[in-house]
Amino acid sequence: MLIRQKPDIAASEITPRHLFEGRRDFIRAAGVGIALASATGAGILLRPAPALAGTKLPALRRSPLSATEAANSQADITSYNNFYEFGTGKEDPGQNAHTLRTRPWTLAIEGEVKHAKVYDLDELLKLAPLEERIYRLRCVEGWSMVIPWAGYPLSELIRRAEPTGRAHFVEFISAADPEQMPGVRRPVLEWPYAEGLRLDEAMHPLALLTLGLYGEVLPNQNGAPVRVTLPWKYGFKSAKSLVKIRLVERQPRTTWSSAAPREYGFYSNVNPQVDHPRWSQARERRIGELGKRATLPFNGYADQVAALYTGMDLRANF
């Protein structure tokens, strides 16, 4: 099958135009080197926050579901991020996310379940054995990485809640605190950030409740302290800084599908044959490499997940 190739795109076209233009407003409003008042009244200077040695996680077993490629460096992974709660630029999360307080932190699971519960972070860390999962990440913008996450299957948490017969979808809600998250002060997206899956997708062994990176607790800019990681879908599906997981009967609203429905579908499986309206998805740029490589169906996880979509039109359900 012929795949139409499109030229490299300008930086201004990486995100929808209204978001790109909103970024300039965000920068003007935030300023460079602005001092924020802390709870004690002291000034906090917004500055680059390099990846610091975080709390070590217990010895991690390497999962057999790990990819075989070499992982990107910790510097790559912690300095080039999409996390609009801290700004729309790739470097913004690394510069701004030090304002996020990750303790105390709770994650609620509720909705169509028999056992709703609010977990604190220590409970989540001990809920199931943590393991290292080296996953490929493919962003809709055309770049990719290989990342050594730490966590356990999301299904471990969902099973404990015991979904009812009316639970067909899972909704993820991220934190949205304008005091701690400067991006939330700007209406570039509808806050809080929301994502969703079908229940069978959420129960798949590859769906990871993620609590660490490179053997340490998650850095703030990578979605601390708890996120979900879905390696066969585009990166924006993997919601960060989770505060609530709801099991629901009907397909939930998702942030990017609401913001630009022609560009970001509910399923958002990596599919090199379905172009983004403004660029091709057939090739990708692995961070740290000079050239481009072919994008793999389902990001290389087709053997594991393609059966979830048997009989579906993956062009219509993009």
The percentage of residues in the chain with a pLDDT greater than 90, rounded to a whole number, is: 82
Side chain identity at residue 39, one-letter code: A
Q: How does pLDDT run across 225-274, given as a tens digit for each residue? A: 999 999 999 999 999 999 999 999 999 999 999 999 999 999 999 999 99
Residue 59's pLDDT is 85
- 153 preceded by a cis bond (ω within 30 of 0): no
Domain ranges of the chain: 16-266+285-291
What's the CATH class of domain 16-266+285-291?
Answer: alpha beta
pLDDT over 80 at 33, yes or no: no
> What is the rounded radius of gyration, in angstroms, for the C-alpha atoms of the chain?
19
pTM: 0.84
Q: What is the mean pLDDT of residues 118-136?
A: 97
CB 183 within 8 A of CB 85: yes
Q: Are strands 106-111 and 242-248 parallel, antiparallel or unpaired?
A: parallel
Residue 54's pLDDT is 77
Helix (H, G, I), strand (E, B) or coil at 135: strand
Residue 110's pLDDT is 98
Greater pLDDT, 297 or 42: 297
Give the best-scoring range by mean pLDDT among 11-20, 48-57, 143-152. 143-152
Residue 228's pLDDT is 98
CB 97 within 8 A of CB 180: no
Residue 27's pLDDT is 40
pLDDT over 70 at 214, yes or no: yes
pLDDT over 70 at 202, yes or no: yes
pLDDT over 70 at 19, yes or no: no
Q: What is the mean pLDDT of residues 210-229?
A: 98
pLDDT over 70 at 201, yes or no: yes
CB 266 within 8 A of CB 201: no
pLDDT over 60 at 47, yes or no: no
How far apart, in whole angstroms, are the C-alpha atoms of residue 294 and residue 37?
Answer: 47
Residue 17's pLDDT is 42
pLDDT over 50 at 38, yes or no: no
**CA distances in angstroms from 179 to 39, 69, 99, 100, 210, listed in the order given:** 10, 39, 8, 9, 25
